[in-house]
Chain A
């Protein structure tokens, strides 16, 4: 928010570099989030374009009551919903999906509820503390395999890095639903990566 204030001043003063930096920072994330609402890349591009035009129109009146980022994503979600409704081809976004399956395949556990053998590990990269480069290459595909609502939540929380409360507001989800969707989404991404892992038992 502190950074926001300086950036806003520059934007209000017409600083093109500041605007270009803003676009560079958020464009990719906006596109990812838009894509969870609409079915095609082209539609997502339209939505992002409309979002930036909305940002330009609203900028003079934006007073910084929310963070700049939250404000931009709110515009995006509104535009994306409108577009999805117009295309009427989007999958319904709702928390109606009963999403209660376990995070881990139940056969991984014995009758006592403990791992029947040590769970397979995802390969890490010791230098970065992240997943191995090989696994990271498959993350995008794993996310695309999620249901639209799981995908929207994991994108906003983990890829964009918004707080739980912000995501609840943006997607009109209850706190409990947001948590379940995120939990299931992460677990499914892990499961999708497991076949790529060399199992050593």
Chain B
């Protein structure tokens, strides 16, 4: 099915949603080649579903960045500070 799909479509055809979602990571990293980026933007402008998908992935990535990190426990922290002091 995939193979058929690939064979049937051409590089210059407008993107469809199924292709769009596979390009989102490269898009967010700014690594899409110029031509693909233009097809991506064109699809984005006309597709509410994909706009929502992209927005969700942005939210997801932003939220991962903000995941709280548990601080080191006081004993570990103190042991490390002591080791640092002992360096000198």
A interface residues (Cβ-Cβ under 8 A, vs B): 14, 16, 19-20, 23-24, 27-29, 31-32, 45, 49, 52-53, 56, 59-60, 102-104, 106, 109, 112-115, 118-119, 121-122, 124, 128-131, 135-136, 139-140, 143, 154, 158-159, 161, 164, 179, 182-183, 186-187, 189-190, 193
Nearest CB on A from B61, distance (A): 5
Q: Which residues of B contact A183 (CB under 8 A)?
A: 22, 24-26
Task: Tell me the dominant secondary structure on chain B's binding face.
Answer: helix
What does the 1/0 interface line of B44-56 toward A look like (CB < 8 Å)?
0001111011011
Q: Is the CB of A118 within 8 A of B25?
A: no
Known contacts A112-B16, A183-B22; is A24 also within 8 Å of B72 by CB? Answer: yes
Q: Is the CB of B77 within 8 A of A161?
A: no
B interface residues (Cβ-Cβ under 8 A, vs A): 5, 16-19, 21-22, 24-26, 29, 31, 47-50, 52-53, 55-57, 59-72, 76-77, 80-81, 83-85, 87-88
Q: Which residues of A contact B19 (CB under 8 A)?
A: 113
> A162 to B69, alpha carbons, bound, how many Å?
16
Known contacts A28-B69, A179-B25, A179-B29; is A118 also within 8 Å of B18 by CB? Answer: no
Q: Is the CB of A190 within 8 A of B16?
A: no
Q: Which residues of A contact B49 (CB under 8 A)?
A: 114-115, 118-119
A-B CB pair tally, cutoff 8 Å: 134
Additional 8 contacts, C-beta under 8 A, given A27-B71, A182-B25: A28-B71, A104-B18, A113-B19, A115-B50, A130-B62, A131-B59, A189-B60, A189-B64
Task: Tell me the dominant secondary structure on chain A's binding face.
Answer: helix
> A190 to B60, alpha carbons, bound, how many Å?
8
> A151 to B6, alpha carbons, bound, how many Å?
30
> A154 to B76, alpha carbons, bound, how many Å?
27
> A158 to B67, alpha carbons, bound, how many Å?
10
Nearest CB on B from A40, distance (A): 16
Q: Which residues of B contact A164 (CB under 8 A)?
A: 29, 31
Q: Which residues of B contact A179 (CB under 8 A)?
A: 25-26, 29, 31
Nearest CB on A from B19, distance (A): 7
> A29 to B69, alpha carbons, bound, how many Å?
7
Q: Is the CB of B59 within 8 A of A158?
A: no
Nearest CB on A from B12, distance (A): 15
> A17 to B70, alpha carbons, bound, how many Å?
19
Q: Which residues of B contact A24 (CB under 8 A)?
A: 71-72, 77
Partner of A114, one of B16, B29, B67, B70: B16
Known contacts A102-B18, A139-B67; is A113 also within 8 Å of B88 by CB? Answer: no
